[in-house]
């Protein structure tokens, strides 16, 4: 391990947030966080977009000049007579004709969901499972013109990732096997969904070679076709960070069905990512070990005998590919020692550089000191890069839930606040925000409220400066 002590190239990441009581540390150089994706602009706003204005409708607070449209709501009756399913989670955004967009949205439904996913038999993997995906067609005026179920019969679809050939990989966050919860088939797989041609979504095929575990998100290196996968494990042992070497790299629709090799990350003397508490810490000599049994027939993937202790993390969630620096980023949402990790934190953002074989802690949301207040921001989950520079982060923590942004100077600001908080003990993740992504022209940000499910389109003065 080496820790760089270079001066910050931007002002401290949380100059404002620290004043508000949140403790956040950031790497010695955070340029990669701002240039990791091609952008219409090169930096975020100077000073954020200003204070949040209370929404008279009690749904979503935004800065002055920004507005929202509700594209889809849980329980709404579609033209086919079925209700839109519950539990809106991860989502992929794809450009469509006439300046519109297509959204493929996950439904993290278990059999206890209020409204289960119901798909035609030809688009259903397991009739006993309640999860899946919806495809929402949005025109250039941000009006939803069509919505339909594109995958049914999967379970607890959490997040996923967009492929270079413009399809959505939806991930099951479960390890349940056939017979559990009444399921007729094993679950814990990745499925590919085509947002444009729904005929391709018939006869769903699980991508079994990519592993059967508590999947969260994926990101693909477009140059090599390697798929990186996070595991949102919340029971011991810790979840792993994996890569999949496909037999048909960059092969287009259906190519991942040809199989490949699944490998788990191993860093000598670092079995637990939570022990790294200093942003800028960098680890060299990252190794990848073949997963003995990707189907987890007797033991979960993370618990198998690798010969060496693979490196794990608690609640490994968001994952994305940095197109300019050609690195993959992933998030550990939080860690608590009573749940298995060795050290507490309120969120980490990691960067793996495949060319150098290094892993670097870019951002850490540290825990407050004993006796201090709880942090204002915590538990980053889905993360995306703004086309105007900077991060946009979805909170999945305690209390009020926000979309957070970063300025061109690296300051954290609140961009949106969810005010539709009507969860129940049976559905406690009511306030979570998820699925954030931008349209191809950068004019609209789309994201979801988990429960009650709402999909928003946000527009406004994104390019505004001081």
**pLDDT for the residue 27:** 42
Distances (CA, A) of 196 to 102, 149, 173, 201, 218: 8, 13, 25, 10, 20
Tell me if 337 is assigned to some domain: yes
The pTM for the full model equals 0.90
432 confidence band (pLDDT: 50, 70, 90)? confident
257-303 pLDDT tens trace: 999 999 999 999 999 999 999 888 999 999 999 999 999 999 999 99
62-71, 208-217, 324-333: least confident range: 324-333
Q: Residue 193: is its pLDDT beyond 60?
A: yes
> What is the per-residue pLDDT for 256?
98
Confidence check: pLDDT of 33 > 60: no
Inform me whether the pLDDT recorded for 41 exceeds 80.
no
Average pLDDT over residues 426-432: 59
pLDDT > 90 in the chain, percent: 63
Residue-level pLDDT at 408: 65
Q: Are 248 and 255 in contact (CB under 8 A)?
A: yes
Q: Is the confidence at residue 19, as pLDDT, over 80?
A: no
Of 311-315, 337-341, 377-381, which range is least confident?
377-381
Residue 352 pLDDT > 80: yes
426 has a pLDDT exceeding 50 = no
Specify if 199 maps to a domain: yes
466, part of any domain: no
Asked whether the predicted pLDDT for residue 447 surpasses 70, the reply is yes
| Among candidate residues 347, 320, 322, 326, the one with its CA nearest the CA of residue 218 | 320
Backbone phi, then psi, for 61, in 5-degree steps?
Answer: -90, 130
Closest CA to 114 of 160, 83, 136: 83
- pLDDT of 369 strictly over 90: no
Contact 319, 216 (CB under 8 A): yes
pLDDT, residue 45, reads 62
The pLDDT, as a whole number, for residue 58 is 94
358 within a domain of the structure (yes/no):
yes
The residue-averaged pLDDT of 164-174 equals 97
Position 230 scores a pLDDT of 97
Residue 32 in contact with residue 9, Cβ under 8 Å? no
140 is a domain residue: yes
Average confidence score pLDDT of the chain: 85
What is the reported pLDDT for 213?
Answer: 98
Domain extent for 310 = 2-459
Q: What is the CATH number of the domain that holds 329?
A: 2.120.10.30
Question: Per-residue pLDDT for 143 more than 90?
Answer: yes
Q: What is the pLDDT of residues 216-249, one digit of tens each?
A: 999 999 999 999 999 999 888 999 999 999 999 9
User: Over the stretch 86-131, which tens digit does the pLDDT of each residue have?
Assistant: 999 999 999 998 889 999 999 999 999 999 999 999 999 999 999 9
- Give CA–CA dist 456/437, Å, rounded: 11
Closest CA to 90 of 76, 78, 77, 108: 108
If one compares 279 and 204, the residue with the highest pLDDT of the two is 204
Residue 35 has pLDDT above 50, yes or no: no
pLDDT value at residue 300: 97
In a domain, 465, yes or no: no
Say what the pLDDT of residue 205 is. 98
From the CB of residue 254, how many other CB atoms can be counted at a distance below 10 Å?
15
Q: Which residues neighbour 74 within 8 Å (Cβ) at sequence distance 6 or greater?
A: 83, 84, 85, 86, 87, 88, 114, 115, 451, 452, 453, 454
Please state the three-class secondary structure of the chain as a single string.
CEECCCCCCCCCCCHHHHHCCCCEEECCCCHHHHHCCCCCCCCCCCECECCEECCCCCCEEEECCCEEEEEEECCCECCCCCECCCCEEEEEEEECHHHCEEEEEEECCCCCCCCCCCCCHHHECCCCCCEEEEEEEECCCCCEEEEEEEEEEECCEEEEEECCCCCEEEEEECCCCCCHHHCCCCCCCEEEECCCCHHHHCCCCCCHHHCCCEEEEEEECCCCCCEEEEECCCCCCCEEEEEEEECCCCCCCCHHHHCEEEEEEECCCCCEHHHCCCCCEEECCCEEEECCCCCCCCCCHHHCCCCCCCCEECCEEEEEEECCCCEEEEEECCECHHHCCCCCECCEEEEEECCCCEEEEEEEECCCCCCCCCCCCCCEEEEEECCCCCEEEEECCCCCCEEEEECCCCCEEEEEEECCCCCECCECCCCCEEEEEECCCCCCEEEEECCCCEEEEEECCCCCCC
The answer to whether residue 12 scores a pLDDT higher than 50 is no
Question: Domains in the chain: how many in total?
Answer: 1
Q: What is the pLDDT of residue 376?
A: 52
- The predicted structure's pLDDT at residue 106: 98
* Residue 464 included in any domain: no
Rank 186-195, 314-323, 429-438 by mean pLDDT and report only the highest: 186-195
Q: How many other C-beta atoms can be found within 10 angstroms of the C-beta atom of residue 444?
A: 22
* Confidence band of 44 (pLDDT split at 50, 70, 90): low
The per-residue pLDDT for 244 is 98
Token code pair at residue 155: 């379970």
CB atoms within 10 A of CB 32: 17
User: Are 125 and 191 spatial neighbours (Cβ–Cβ below 8 Å)?
Assistant: yes
**What's residue 234's pLDDT?**
81
Per the domain annotation, does 262 fall within a domain?
yes
Averaged pLDDT, 61-83: 95
381 has a pLDDT exceeding 90: no
């Amino acid at each position: 391990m080496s820790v760089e002590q270079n001066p910050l190239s931007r002002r401290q990441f949380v100059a404002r947030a620290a004043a508000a009581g949140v403790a956040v540390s950031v790497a010695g150089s955070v340029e990669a966080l701002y240039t990791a994706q091609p952008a219409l602009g090169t930096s975020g706003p100077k000073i954020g977009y200003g204070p949040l204005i209370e929404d008279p409708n009690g749904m979503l607070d935004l800065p002055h000049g920004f507005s929202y449209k509700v594209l889809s709501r849980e329980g709404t009756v579609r033209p086919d007579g079925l209700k839109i399913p519950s539990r809106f989670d991860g989502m992929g955004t794809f450009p469509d004709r006439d300046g519109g967009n297509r959204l493929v949205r996950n439904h993290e439904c278990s059999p206890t969901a209020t409204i289960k996913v119901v798909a035609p038999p030809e688009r259903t993997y397991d009739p006993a499972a309640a999860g899946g995906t919806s495809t929402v067609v949005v025109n250039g005026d941000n009006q939803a013109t069509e919505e339909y179920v594109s995958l049914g019969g999967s379970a607890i679809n959490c997040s996923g990732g967009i492929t270079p050939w413009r399809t959505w990989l939806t991930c099951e966050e479960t390890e349940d096997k056939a017979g559990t919860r009444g399921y007729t088939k094993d679950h814990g797989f990745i499925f590919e969904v085509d947002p444009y041609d729904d005929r391709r979504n018939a006869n769903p095929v699980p991508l079994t070679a990519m592993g059967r575990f508590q999947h969260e998100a994926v990101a693909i290196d477009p140059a090599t076709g390697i798929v990186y996968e996070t595991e949102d494990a919340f029971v011991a042992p810790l979840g792993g960070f994996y890569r999949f070497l496909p037999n048909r790299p960059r092969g287009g629709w259906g190519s991942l069905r040809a199989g490949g090799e699944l490998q788990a990350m191993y860093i000598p003397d670092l079995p637990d990512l939570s022990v790294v508490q200093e942003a800028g810490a960098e680890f060299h000599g990252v190794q990848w070990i073949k997963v003995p049994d990707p189907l987890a027939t007797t033991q979960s993937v993370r618990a198998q005998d690798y010969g060496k202790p693979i490196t794990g993390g608690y609640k490994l969630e968001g994952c994305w590919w940095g197109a300019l620096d050609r690195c993959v980023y992933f998030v550990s949402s939080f860690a608590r020692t009573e749940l298995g990790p060795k050290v507490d934190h309120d969120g980490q953002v990691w960067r793996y550089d495949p060319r150098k074989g290094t892993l670097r802690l870019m951002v850490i949301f540290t825990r407050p000191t004993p006796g201090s207040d709880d942090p204002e921001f915590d538990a980053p989950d889905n993360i995306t890069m703004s086309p105007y520079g900077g991060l946009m982060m979805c909170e999945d923590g305690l209390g009020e839930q926000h979309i957070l942004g970063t300025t061109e100077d690296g300051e954290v600001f609140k961009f949106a606040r969810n005010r539709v908080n009507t969860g129940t003990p049976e559905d406690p993740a009511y306030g979570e925000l998820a699925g954030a992504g931008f349209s191809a022209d950068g004019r609209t940000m789309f994201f979801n409220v988990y429960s009650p499910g709402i999909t928003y389109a946000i527009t406004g003065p994104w390019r505004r400066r001081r």
